[in-house]
Amino acid sequence: MKFAPKKLKHSNLLVWLAYFLVVIFSLVVVIARGSEGIEPIYYMNYGIDLFGMIVIVVIFICCSVDPGTEGPLLRYYRGLINITFLGLFSDLMSWVVNGVPDLRIFNVVTNTLYYMCLPLGCYYFWRYVENMLKVEDRLIKNLDKCLKYGMIIAVLLRIVNIFTGIYFTVDENGIYSRAEFYPISMLYMFAVSAITIILIVYGYKKMEKRQIVILVLYVIAPTSVGVLTMMKYGLSVSYGVITVLMLLMYCIINIELSMKAMAAEREMALAAEIQHSMLPNTFPAFPDKPEIDLYASMDPARDVGGDFYDYFLIDDDHLCIVMADVSGKGVPAALFMMNTMNVIHGFASLGIPPSQVLTKVNESICRNNQAEMFVTVWLGVLELSTGKLTAVNAGHEYPIIKKPDGEFELYKDPHAFVLGGLEGVTYKEYETHIEPGTKIFLYTDGLPEATDADNNMYKMERMLEVLNASADLSPEETLNKIRDSVKEFVGLQEPFDDLTMLCLEYAP
């Protein structure tokens, strides 16, 4: 499985632009504020907040283009990113306008936002841990409700503070000061931290050591800093510490995603190997049958594909050839392909006519086709002693036949309905005679529909042109010529469909 970067969504782009403008605005405001009335400790707060905002912007961009950052767990992580950015910005603005009488109201608003970010961040982190551990216990669910309501109450109390000053006040000179009940504003954080630590201990067996370490740090570090800021006014590094932890969390997330991606790639490589081993790929195919020269290949668009071919002797005088294309791509198509291939091989090995083979295969597929997939199939049985070819085309591409003294041409045989598409279909076969020296070329639609970077298709005409230019070559050389032609046409464009071909030369 290949992981490609995803495009930045419009909504993400707008948020990123908003972040960028806020950072520029903050820089301008800090410069315009100057140094008048600024205590030395404020400069440290400025630097931490500005640097933290830039780091958060970088993390947000990485999350926006990272294909692994989806799902409930990562949504809460993104929520923490946004809350952290707001906390950094509101903290910075609070210090910038502190002591400016004309901006007293702005000081109240920014400090209120800063205070509100604390319970929001705590609750989102709790939800992050809960989703990581995938806890379904009723006790945990009830705790979650309590913490949710507690967060709402904590936020409302911060709004009430605007009118009551229970946590902080901003006097007429625009100077911020803590109120008597300031420590109470920290209670929700302490409660959530304690409960989260208990949850981490409860579910530690479900996590790697690096996950436990970073989660514990995320709880302990901000809590410790919160206690420190209660004792030392003017020290405001809580969200700076959280920013560093957010960066570490992102690193941990990417380690986990990388490990999962590597495991998935190993599994896909194994699946591709299993699929490849199921297709007959030993050539010459029938060394004891000089009248048959056959070569086939399958190049999947992904690690595994939905196309397949097959060839085998039903008895000493009858050769069965199959070319098929399953709807869809990837693992589901590959599983459907392997099942269909086995069923076709099983019925065809019985020596019954091709029409009965596909009729029975269709019944078998339709009986349990919950995925509602279908497969196009060309199945032929060649009688080696006489050259009689009995075949059925179930919605597949027309075969291409070259007579001994002619060119490769489409053989427009009668088409029947695809396999797996409809129950109760009865398939009919047709007969034709193959002269000595005749070549049969079978393929899937991935060949004529191969597309270049400009969305131009390879098309049937180009395929016939290359085939006729290779008319005197062996089946293996013919397929190599076609493959080289397709690669040259497509260029660096990622293949959209599987490329599967088979060429048979009958020369008794």
pLDDT in tens, the chain (508 residues): 233 344 445 566 787 788 889 889 888 888 887 766 666 667 777 888 888 888 888 878 777 765 554 566 778 888 888 888 998 899 889 888 888 888 899 999 999 998 999 899 888 888 887 777 776 677 778 888 899 999 999 999 999 999 999 999 999 988 888 888 888 888 888 888 888 777 777 766 766 665 666 666 666 666 666 565 655 555 566 766 677 666 666 666 666 666 666 666 676 666 667 667 778 888 888 889 888 999 999 887 766 667 889 999 999 999 999 999 988 777 777 788 888 899 999 999 999 999 999 999 999 999 888 778 899 999 999 999 999 999 999 999 999 999 998 899 999 999 999 999 888 899 999 999 999 999 999 999 888 988 888 888 999 999 999 999 988 899 999 999 999 999 999 887 776 777 899 999 998 6
Q: Is residue 115 within 8 Å of residue 86, measured between CB atoms? A: no
Rg (CA), the chain: 34
The candidate with the shortest Cα–Cα distance to 400, out of 468, 354, 451, is 468
E-only strand ranges, 417-477: 430-433, 438-443
Which residue matches tokens 């086995």? 342
Instruction: For residue 312, give the DSSP letter.
Output: E
Any residues with CB less than 8 A from the CB of 335 and at least 6 apart, and which? Answer: none
| Spatial distance between the Cα atoms of 103 and 100, rounded to a whole number of angstroms | 6
| Spatial distance between the Cα atoms of 23 and 55, rounded to a whole number of angstroms | 11
| Spatial distance between the Cα atoms of 451 and 454, rounded to a whole number of angstroms | 8
Any residues with CB less than 8 A from the CB of 333 and at least 6 apart, and which? Answer: 304, 305, 306, 326, 327, 373
| Spatial distance between the Cα atoms of 49 and 54, rounded to a whole number of angstroms | 9
Give the CA angle between residues 487, 491, 496 to the nearest 5°.
Answer: 75
In degrees rounded to 5, what are phi and psi of residue 375?
A: -145, 135
The candidate with the shortest Cα–Cα distance to 255, out of 301, 300, 213, is 213
- Name the strand (E) or helix (H) holding 310: strand 307-315
Strand partners, 177: 169
pLDDT at 454: 84
* Structural domains in the chain, sorted by start: 10-267 (1.20.1070), 279-506 (3.60.40.10)
Q: Is residue 63 within 8 Å of residue 77, measured between CB atoms? A: yes
CA 270 to chain centre: 19
Give the CA angle between residues 284, 290, 293 to the nearest 5°.
Answer: 45
- State the amino acid at position 434 in one-letter form: I
Any residues with CB less than 8 A from the CB of 116 and at least 6 apart, and which? Answer: 155, 158, 159
| Spatial distance between the Cα atoms of 4 and 15, rounded to a whole number of angstroms | 22
**SS3 of residue 318 by DSSP:** strand
pLDDT at 6: 44
Q: Is residue 281 within 8 Å of residue 498, measured between CB atoms? A: no
pLDDT at 223: 62
Instruction: State the distance between the two ends of the chain, measured CA to CA, in whole angstroms.
Output: 45
